[in-house]
Structures are given as structure tokens and as C-alpha cells.
Amino acid sequence: DKGNHRHFMAKEIYEQPEVISHTFGHYLDLAAETVTLPELPFDPKTVTNISITACGTALYAGAVAEYWFERFGRVPVSTDIASEFRYRETPLTPDGITIVISQSGETADTLASLRYAKECGQKVVAVVNVPTSTIAREADVVLPILAGPEIGVASTKAFTCQLATLACLAVAFGRAKGVLEEADEHKLVRAFMEVPRLMTEALKLSPEIEVLARTLAKARDVLYLGRGSNYPLALEGALKLKEISYIHAEGYAGGELKHGPIALIDEKMPVVVIAPHDRIFDKTVSNMEEVAARGGRIILVTDPLGAAAVDVGAVQKLILPEMPSTVCPMVYSIPVQLIAYHTAVIMGTDVDQPRNLAKSVTVE
Ligand code: M6R
């Protein structure tokens, strides 16, 4: 049932404030302002490294979480594509753990990666949406994301609920390792509790995005840029646009622009810049100046401070409320998803069932 929406994807985008509040409700003690996880089969305090592996959108959720585990837990993380991880024969030792992330819990390469990590003697945490799935059954501990059924082939609410779950796990690591103090945990939990409201605000950008999408729909290629934990969101934005609008898109870390992709910039190539006003914002401003100087059109997703600080060439701004940087990848997902959605609707593609794609990839 699509409710009042034209597509399941739209319904699932709009559901996010509600479903993510369930996810947080499950992993947070709201009164105590603490994270509460199920019992873990390892002591986070003694974990020396984390491998994260998944495919597609789930991989990008893992790539965001890498920043959180490293910042909150000071634990080294390596994030890898499951189809590479499973064959790479990377040496895994029992003092490390592996986290697999999968909406369906049936993705062949992710399952094979889980089995490889177990063979190496590691404990495996599965972050899954389908609790009865093979990955959930075989993992040592399951952290359900509680997003509810996701019908659209393009993953939306599963991504943000994966982020919410991983953020809670990262905070738990930070506390166990003594990197985060009790007061830091309270502050982060309060920030998490604001996410549903911030997402509701973000959804109000939809009409503006619909207008922007008319020009995007005419593009042959689109570049997405982000830095820090918003870099994986640039990758996710590009994936989403490719999947449902069939427009070629690429995501890059802002710092990589001058190492190659800048050669592609001209007035025909829109650049979506995902940049809240954080400690690396100034670096992104230089990227935008480089794009503007070559006639590139910019769509800047930012906050009021970021919007006020940018005064270059042709920039269209999508302005979100100010928020703590940890929650940015969750909330900024909304405009990123809406950009892909509205562009695809204008192109007239089959948004919920794009060509050549399956919801669950159970073969290699
Ligand atoms: O079910 P999974 O989360 O394991 O699926 C992984 C990918 O196949 C999936 O995220 C895919 O990239 C989506 N179509 C993205 O929108």
C-alpha cells in the first residue's frame, strides 16, 4: 500500500522521521540519555579493529559509520565491498570484529563475507532489516534496524535506519573504550533524539527540489561532492540517481576534485555539493570556486551558516536547519534521496522497479 504516494519510494522517504524514531527508541534509553544495546558476544573495550563489509547502499552506511567508530571509539576501521572482502583473504584476527550490513539479509557476497570472518575466528555483528534472514541467523549478534518492509528497489529508509543503528553502536564503543565521557554520550543521545524532527524539516524542501530536478533531468552526468562523513553520502547520492533516473553520476570526496574529475566540469555538468557548515567547510568552498570558475552549476545542500558563507557563481542552495555534525549524514540523506526521486519522476522511469535491478541480490 503506497498510501497517498505515487511510488513506494516516496512513501518510504516520507516514512523516515517515524521509522527512525523507532530505531532510536530501540537503542536508546531516552530518560537516562544513554545507549542500550543487546548483550554483545565480545567486549568492545578489547576490540582492536573493525572490518565493515556490505554492498551498495548498505556499504555506504558502513562507510559513514567508519568515521563514527574512529572518532568516538578511536578504533581503526576498514570498510570494504563484500565481493572484494570475501576473496581478498585479508588476514583477520580474533581480537577484531566484523560488522556486516544488509537490508535483506540475503545478499550473497555479504553472507559469504560473514562466513569468512567467522572462519577466521571473529565475532560478527549483523545490522539487518529482515530479522528472519540468513545473515541474521548466522551472525553472532543481530542489531535489527527496524525500518519495516522496504519495497522500492532503491534503498532509502533502510539506509537512514542503518545509520541510526550504527551510530548507537559507535557510541557504545566510545563509552566502553573510555573515549567518550558520560556527558558526551548524553549530548549525542540528545542529538539523535532530534533527528525525526530535523528529517521532517528536511522533507519540506521537496517542492524546491522538484523545481531543481527539472534541470537535473536534462543533464547527462552529475557529480556529487562531500567531505568527511558526508563523503559516503555523495557516493550514495550518485548511486541513487543512477539507479532510478539512469543519469550517469559519480560521487567524489571534495579533496579529490583536482585529482581528475575537475576535467569534466563545464556548464553542462551539475555538481551537487553536500556540505554542512562544519570544520572542513572552507575546503569545500574552494572546491565550489573551482567548479564555478569553469562554469559548472552547483546545487549546495547546506545550513544557514554555510549558505551565508558561499558567494560563488551559479549556486542553488537547499538549506537545512543547523544540527550537530554526527546527525548530518542521516538528515542530509533526505534531500539527497528527493533529488534522485524527483529527477526520476520527471524522466518517467519506473521508480520502484528500475530496469536491470533486483531488490535482493542472492547470486554473485
Ligand atoms: O539487501 P542489501 O542491503 O544487502 O542490499 C545491498 C544492495 O544490493 C542494495 O543496497 C542496492 O545497492 C540498492 N538497490 C541501493 O539502492
Confirm or reject: Cβ of 154 under 6 Å from ligand 1.
yes
Report which protein residue has its CA nearest ligand 1's atom 7.
Answer: 56
Residue 352 Cβ inside 6 Å of ligand 1? The answer reads no
Q: Are 133 and 106 in contact (CB under 8 A)?
A: yes
The string of pLDDT tens digits covering residues 164-218 is 999 999 999 999 999 999 999 999 999 999 999 999 999 999 999 999 999 999 9
What distance in angstroms lies between residue 265's CA and the mean position of ligand 1's atoms?
30
pLDDT value of position 112:
97
pLDDT score at 360: 84
Atom of ligand 1 nearest to the CA of 156: 16
Q: How far apart are CA 174 and CA 142, in angstroms?
A: 20
- Phi and psi for 96 in degrees, rounded to 5? -110, 165
Probe residue for ligand 1, chosen from 12, 55, 350 as the CB with the greatest number of ligand atoms within 8 Å: 55
Ligand 1 site, residue 110, Cβ cutoff 6 A: yes
Task: Name residues of the chain where pLDDT drops below 70.
Answer: none
Neighbours of 83 (CB within 10 A): 18
State the distance from the centre of ligand 1 to the C-alpha of 166, rounded, in angstroms: 17
Residues 6 or more apart whose CB falls under 8 angstroms from that of 93 comprise 48, 120, 121, 122
Reported as a single tens digit per residue, the pLDDT across 301-341 is 999 999 999 988 778 999 999 999 999 999 999 999 999 99
Hey, whose CA ends up nearest to atom 9 of ligand 1?
Answer: 56
| Top mutation candidate among 106, 241, 361 for ligand 1, by most atoms within 8 Å of CB | 361
Would the CB of 51 count as within 6 Å of ligand 1? no
| 294 CA → ligand 1 middle, Å | 35
pLDDT at 362: 86
Extended beta strands in 72-230, E state: 77-81, 96-102, 123-128, 141-144, 221-226
| Complex confidence, ipTM | 0.98
The rounded Å distance from CA 314 to ligand 1 centre is 34
For atom 11 of ligand 1, the residue with the nearest CA is: 56
pLDDT confidence of residue 347: 96
Residue closest via CA to ligand 1's atom 4 equals 102
With contact defined as beta carbons under 8 Å apart, do 66 and 57 qualify? Answer: no
CA-wise closest residue to 287 among 299, 273, 297, 277: 273
